[in-house]
Each structure stands twice: as structure tokens, then as C-alpha cells.
């Protein structure tokens, strides 16, 4: 099986409170984007192993995709061994959900391989046990997310913006960002309401907001610089995704996005990626390859 595993961006992220279990509740608008890791998965092999190329990630049982495969097979009571190969393009620790996407893609691929014995709701529960962003990638389309990210509602009010992603070359710990967040200083609620989104659709000029941004930019001010540069080069708006540090700019014209990439490519340490939002209902699976199209 070959699987294409997409990244995501948070177009809005409001942290609504802290839970007794230590997690935080949030309200977020999430969208998959066309930046993919490639995953190759063989089942019923002589031995179990994982190999990774591209951006370095663990090649052991701590890898989230590996854990997803083990969890799925254990749930079905199967003892097959597997070989998992991942070619990483999505930056790691970047706010783009690469590890969660890998895990979700493996769950979906295995469920298809075994003729879907596990229901969507059961897959969601399995995904949530692996990580808060995994259910979104199992959902496979833009969504309004609440709770810790497990409550998802289809959202169809997005335009297919072209995006330029800037990763400033640093890694951020999501857990550390949430630990440093001061809930009294969150300010996104006033920018965004569910009813407003349903009535008027998403507006980059009004709705781009991320409560985690102030925490991450305090340690990595280059995030502020990246946002400013994106807007200066024609983006309709720019925002940090998730806990960062990756920043995205939204462009209506792909030529402007390309020119911005060329203009900003000389910044030392920055990794730039041209992509676009996936706004239509999608399916990972097409023939034997499993892309989002």
C-alpha cells in the first residue's frame, strides 16, 4: 500500500479552557493542505520494522504511525508483522500535524486492507487514543473542531486558497506551549463565532487568529517576521498554525504565492513550501495509491 499523508493548518484556534485531565479544550477551524508525506505499508511480512527518510523521525515503537499499525492489528486480534516506510516532507514539530496524519493514514489504509471491519466511530476512538489531531485526519475534510479536537463538524465555507508555508527551522513542543499559555490573555473569541462562520463564511481579514501564537513568538520572534513578510508580498492574511512555529500565508493568485516564495527564499534557515488548501470532501483512497485529491 502507498499512502499520501497530508499536513493541516489551523485557520483559527481559540483555547477555551483547561480540563481536569490536563488537556485543553479548544475551538478551531482546521483544513488539510497539499503537502504530503509518503507512506509505504506491507502487511504479513517476515518481521516488523520501520524505516524513515527525509526529515528525521523515530524509527522505533515510539513513532506514531508504527503505534497506529500495532494498535489496529491488536484491536482485530491479528498477529501479522508489517514493514512501514515513511518519506517525510512535512516538517516535524511544526504545527502541521505530520505525525498525527501519518497515524490516521495508516489506520485508514489498514481498515481498507481488511475490508473495513472497524467503524468510523471506532476508528475515531482509536485515533484519539494516539493523539488529539488524529481524529481530524480520519475525518478527511475541513472541520470545526472542539473539545480537545475530537468533536468535528464538516465545514464548507472555505475558498481554495493557495498557501505559502514558512517553517523558520526550529522545533516547538506542543505540550510546552500549552503549559506556558495564560488563559486570561487569550483573545481569539471575539474574532470568531460559530454562527458567524456558518452565515458568512471564512474571511482571512477577520478570522485569522491563534491563541497559542503569543506564547511561541515570545521565544521565536522570527514567526512575527515571517507573517509580516508574507503580507508584504501579497498574502491576504498570515497566521501561525497550531503550536507553531510554521506560518502560512493565504493567496488568491498562485502566481503571487510563487513570487513570494522566490522573494523570501533567501532567508537563512527558512524552509518554504507552496501548497493549497483542500476544501472539498475528499477520500484518501484512489486505486492502490491512497492520495487526497
Residues noted as catalytic: 8, 133
Burial of 129 (0-12, 13-18, 19+ CB in 10 A): exposed
Cell representation of residue 4: 499520501
**Of 219, 128, 103, 121, nearest in space to 171 by CA:** 219
Beta strand residue intervals within the chain, DSSP E: 2-18, 24-45, 49-54, 81-88, 143-147, 151-154, 162-167, 209-210, 237-240, 247-251, 271-276, 289-290
CA distance 12 to 46: 45
CA distance 179 to 106: 30
Amino acid at each position: 500500500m502507498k499512502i499520501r499523508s497530508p499536513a493541516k493548518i489551523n485557520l483559527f484556534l481559540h483555547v477555551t479552557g483547561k480540563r481536569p485531565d490536563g488537556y485543553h479544550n479548544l475551538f478551531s477551524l482546521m483544513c488539510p493542505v497539499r503537502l504530503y508525506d509518503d507512506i509505504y505499508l506491507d502487511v504479513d511480512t517476515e518481521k516488523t520494522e520501520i524505516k524513515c527518510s527525509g526529515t528525521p523521525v523515530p524509527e522505533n515503537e515510539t513513532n506514531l504511525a508504527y503505534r497506529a499499525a500495532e494498535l489496529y492489528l491488536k484491536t482485530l486480534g491479528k498477529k501479522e508483522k508489517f514493514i512501514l516506510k515513511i518519506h517525510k516532507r512535512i516538517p516535524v514539530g511544526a504545527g502541521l500535524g505530520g505525525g498525527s496524519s501519518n497515524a490516521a493514514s495508516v489506520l485508514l489504509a489498514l481498515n481498507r486492507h481488511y475490508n473495513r471491519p472497524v467503524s468510523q466511530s471506532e476508528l475515531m476512538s482509536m485515533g484519539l487514543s494516539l493523539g488529539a489531531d488524529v481524529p481530524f485526519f480520519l475525518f478527511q475534510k475541513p472541520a470545526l473542531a472542539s473539545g480537545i479536537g475530537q468533536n468535528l463538524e464538516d465545514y464548507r465555507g472555505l475558498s481554495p486558497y493557495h498557501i505559502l508555508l514558512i517553517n523558520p527551522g526550529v522545533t516547538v513542543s506542543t505540550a510546552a506551549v500549552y503549559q506556558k499559555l495564560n488563559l486570561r490573555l487569550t483573545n481569539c473569541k471575539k474574532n470568531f463565532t460559530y454562527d458567524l462562520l456558518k452565515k458568512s463564511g471564512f474571511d482571512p481579514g477577520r478570522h485569522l487568529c491563534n491563541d497559542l501564537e503569543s506564547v511561541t513568538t515570545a521565544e521565536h520572534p522570527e514567526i512575527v517576521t515571517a507573517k509580516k513578510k508574507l503580507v508584504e508580498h501579497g498574502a491576504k492574511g498570515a497566521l501561525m498554525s497550531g503550536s507553531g512555529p510554521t506560518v502560512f500565508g493565504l493567496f488568491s493568485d498562485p502566481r503571487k504565492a510563487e513570487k513570494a516564495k522566490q522573494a523570501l527564499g533567501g532567508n537563512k534557515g527558512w524552509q518554504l513550501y507552496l501548497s493549497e488548501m483542500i476544501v472539498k470532501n475528499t477520500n484518501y483512497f484512489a486505486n492502490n495509491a491512497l492520495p487526497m485529491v
